[in-house]
Amino acid sequence: MHAELTPVVAATAQWMTRAFPAGGGALAAALCEAQARQAVTIAAMLRYPTPMDAALLALAGPGGTARLDWVTGADGPAGDTDHEPDRGRGPARDDHAWRTWVDEVVASWAACLLGDAGLAALAVTALAEGGRPDGAPAGFRRLLAPDDGDRRAAALLRHPDLLAPVADLHRAPLLERLKPGSALIA
């Protein structure tokens, strides 16, 4: 993965886990985050396949969470509790700068992959066949072959009906990208 994609992957995965949170404690949250990060990583590599694409993203910026928050009915920064003051640890902080690094298309494509195991397998295979060494299926086990614990932890994150408003935003371009014969430039 291109280094320029790191903040986009981190922010978009964070948005996904906040919009579709895990239930059941710290282990469930970690498993849910791992699945979101794997889906977002694949989506980002598909969306920005070349170093030039990634550099242009870093220059222009990904766009933020406004439309995603609206589509999911999330409150966004106003309803987010991370801006609460650190009681006894210092002044209140505004921790919402990460939201500007969320990429709507990457979130939509990740939602498609999380909600459709066949599409996820096709995406990982397309990256691997496109010569991307970081697209090897073994590195995406939690996305491709989640066990029962993974499924329980990410019940909301993998629920097709809940994901539909986000997935439907940009599903068509993802399907076009994954069509047989379309070139994935490494």
What is residue 89's three-state secondary structure? coil
Query: Does the pLDDT value for residue 181 go beyond 80?
Result: no
Query: Does the pLDDT value for residue 2 go beyond 70?
Result: yes
Query: Does the pLDDT value for residue 142 go beyond 90?
Result: yes
Residues 158-174: what's their mean pLDDT?
Answer: 97
The domain ranges of the chain are 3-79+97-177
What is residue 20's three-state secondary structure? coil
27-30: long-range contacts, CB 8 A cutoff, minimum separation 24: 27/153, 28/152, 28/153, 29/153, 30/153
Q: How far apart, in whole angstroms, are the C-alpha atoms of residue 16 and residue 108?
A: 10
User: pLDDT-derived band of residue 135, with 50, 70 and 90 as boundaries?
Assistant: low
Query: Does the pLDDT value for residue 39 go beyond 80?
Result: yes
User: pLDDT-derived band of residue 4, with 50, 70 and 90 as boundaries?
Assistant: confident
Instruction: Kindly report whether the global pTM for this prediction surpasses the value 0.85.
Output: yes
Q: How far apart, in whole angstroms, are the C-alpha atoms of residue 47 and residue 136?
A: 17
Residue in 160, 170, 185 with CA at minimum distance from that of residue 52: 185
Q: Write the pLDDT tens digit of every residue in 40-58.
A: 999 999 999 999 999 999 8
Q: Which of the residue ranges 54-58, 80-84, 148-152, 177-181 would you say has the lowest mean pLDDT?
A: 80-84
